């Protein structure tokens, strides 16, 4: 496990298969442990590398688990391939690892195509994940990872990008905010002032790695939605997300991940017409954070009238998953679905019995994900005995959940963090 320290704070982490385990807190205390799960081992390794880079940029120093500080040095030039040395406090080499590759060409290309200011933003990590097609920028992530309240001036990077030649041909844009901002209006303002690139097809907005920021943020995207009619994929993530009207005729994939999904927002979403929607993801969250939805509020979704092409349905992080199982197995939408995801909720063995009893109605599914619910081993065994393509937590699951608040979405992909205090049973 690697350990980094800054002032009186420490962070330790290690990568285990697709999981990144972290422990952070005040030096001299056990700290709080988080577990971040990613879609694959490769994604977890990439997240570990990005975390390491971020910590060093924020002034953390890498130390060993018990004490001695590690210093990064360079091996004298020679015929062998360049290596980096990690030295302990006495100057003895304790680890050798490859020297990072020189800055990749996209950073140079960014300065050339986007201008020096945005080129500097790439080097600082405020613009990341650049993908190019020749000299045309196709994908980019705008990252804000400051501390404290967001200053509107900090969003000059997004405004500059939307005014640069980089907007021409841009197809994927992710705005990732990792601060404790309680408002997201500053993020929307550059879009409202400078417009959404006409070529944009995939927008990821309001995504947080900072847990407190995620829970506190309120994002009203009503003013922005009319400019997104050409999008094919939209991901919105915040403690609460609200909008008054939805008209996105080209959208194929809609993901709404919240700490608490409000009933009014769900009703607005259910009343919209989604002629092309193939995938729908909803995180319902906790009543303590505004999640006042009930299973009856999903009636219009499960009826399927407004979702003629919906094939993949993910109703996640719900406190009412048992009732949802009952509504799902008798819904008009179910025969058209290819996959269902009810993960990270509070499904008990009662929900498992409902699904097992209606296995014939679910038999056409290619995937049924029930990962990290409140099932006992008996409930999991009951489902495993069916012929359903069920995905369960397996022997390493976290145990019986008593709250959906254990789960916080990551800012990239389908990953999530599982939160628990030291001493909690894993």
What local confidence, expressed as pLDDT, does residue 235 receive?
A: 94
Report residue 140's pLDDT band, with 50, 70 and 90 as the boundaries.
Answer: very high
Q: Looking at residues 414-423, what average pLDDT do you find?
A: 65
Residue 390 has pLDDT above 70, yes or no: yes
Q: Looking at residues 13-29, what average pLDDT do you find?
A: 82
What local confidence, expressed as pLDDT, does residue 56 receive?
A: 78
Rounded to two decimals, the pTM is 0.78
User: Model confidence over 229-281: pLDDT tens digits?
Assistant: 999 999 999 999 999 889 999 999 999 999 999 999 999 999 998 999 999 99
* HEC secondary structure over the chain: CEEEEECCEEEEEEEECCEEEEEEEECCCCCEEEEEECCCHHHHHHHHHHHHHHHHHCCCEEECCCCCECEEEECCCCCCCCEEEEECCCCCEEEEEECCCCCCHHHHHHHHHHCHHHHHHHHHCCEEEEEEECCEEEEEEEEECCCCCCCHHHHHHHHHHHHCHHHCCCCEEEEEECCCCCECHHHHHHHHHHCCCCCCCEEEEEECCCHHHHHHCEEECCCCHHHHCCCCEEEEEECEEECCCCCCCCCCEEEEEECECCHHHHHHHHHCCCCCCCEEEEECECHHHCCCCCHHHHHHHHHCCCCCCCCEEEEECCCCHHHHHHHHHCCCCHHHCCEEECCCCCCCHHHHHHHHHCHHHHCCCCEEECCCCCCCHHHHHHHHCCCCCEECCCCCCCCCCCCHHHEEECCCCCCEEEEECCCCCC
Write down all domains in the chain, each with its CATH number in brackets.
Answer: 2-98 (2.20.140.10)
User: Model confidence over 360-381: pLDDT tens digits?
Assistant: 999 999 999 999 899 988 999 9
Report residue 90's pLDDT band, with 50, 70 and 90 as the boundaries.
Answer: very low
What local confidence, expressed as pLDDT, does residue 71 receive?
A: 39
Could you tell me which residue, 14 or 145, shows the higher pLDDT? 14
């Amino acid at each position: 496990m690697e350990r980094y320290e800054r002032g009186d704070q420490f962070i330790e982490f290690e990568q285990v298969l697709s999981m990144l385990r972290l422990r952070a807190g005040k030096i001299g205390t056990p700290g709080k442990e988080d577990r971040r799960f990613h879609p694959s081992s490769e994604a977890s390794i990439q997240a570990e590398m990005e975390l390491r880079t971020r910590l060093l940029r924020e002034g953390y120093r890498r130390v060993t688990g018990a004490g001695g500080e590690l210093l990064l040095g360079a091996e004298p030039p020679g015929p062998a391939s360049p290596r980096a040395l990690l030295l302990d406090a006495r100057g003895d080499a304790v680890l050798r690892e490859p020297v990072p590759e020189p800055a990749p060409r996209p950073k140079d290309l960014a300065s050339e195509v986007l201008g020096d200011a945005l080129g500097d933003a790439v080097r600082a990590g405020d613009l990341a994940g650049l993908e190019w097609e020749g000299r045309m920028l196709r994908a980019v992530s705008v990252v804000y990872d400051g501390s404290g309240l967001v200053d509107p001036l900090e969003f000059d990077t997004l405004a500059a990008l939307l005014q640069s030649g980089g907007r021409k041909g841009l197809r994927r844009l992710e705005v990732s905010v990792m601060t404790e901002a309680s408002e997201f209006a500053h993020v929307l303002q550059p879009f409202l002032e400078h417009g959404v690139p006409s070529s944009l097809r995939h927008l990821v907005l309001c995504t947080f790695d900072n847990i407190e920021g995620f829970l506190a943020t309120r994002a009203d995207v009503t003013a922005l939605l009319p400019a997104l009619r050409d999008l094919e994929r939209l991901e919105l993530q915040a403690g609460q997300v609200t909008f008054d009207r939805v008209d996105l005729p080209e959208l194929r994939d809609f993901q709404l991940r919240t700490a608490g999904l409000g009933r009014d927002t769900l009703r607005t979403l259910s009343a919209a017409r989604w002629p092309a929607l193939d995938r729908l993801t909803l995180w319902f969250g906790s009543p303590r954070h505004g999640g006042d939805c009930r299973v009856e509020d999903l009636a219009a979704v499960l009826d399927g009238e407004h979702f003629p092409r919906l094939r993949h349905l993910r109703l996640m992080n719900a406190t009412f998953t048992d009732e949802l199982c009952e509504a799902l197995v008798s819904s008009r939408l179910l025969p058209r679905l290819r996959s269902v995801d009810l993960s990270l909720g509070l499904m008990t063995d009662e929900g498992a019995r409902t699904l097992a009893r209606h296995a014939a109605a679910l038999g056409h599914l290619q995937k049924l994900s029930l990962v990290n619910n409140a099932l006992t081993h008996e409930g999991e065994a009951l489902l495993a005995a069916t012929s359903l393509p069920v995905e369960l937590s397996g022997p390493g699951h976290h145990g019986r959940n008593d709250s959906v608040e254990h789960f916080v979405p990551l800012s990239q992909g389908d990953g999530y963090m599982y939160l628990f205090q030291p001493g909690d049973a894993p």
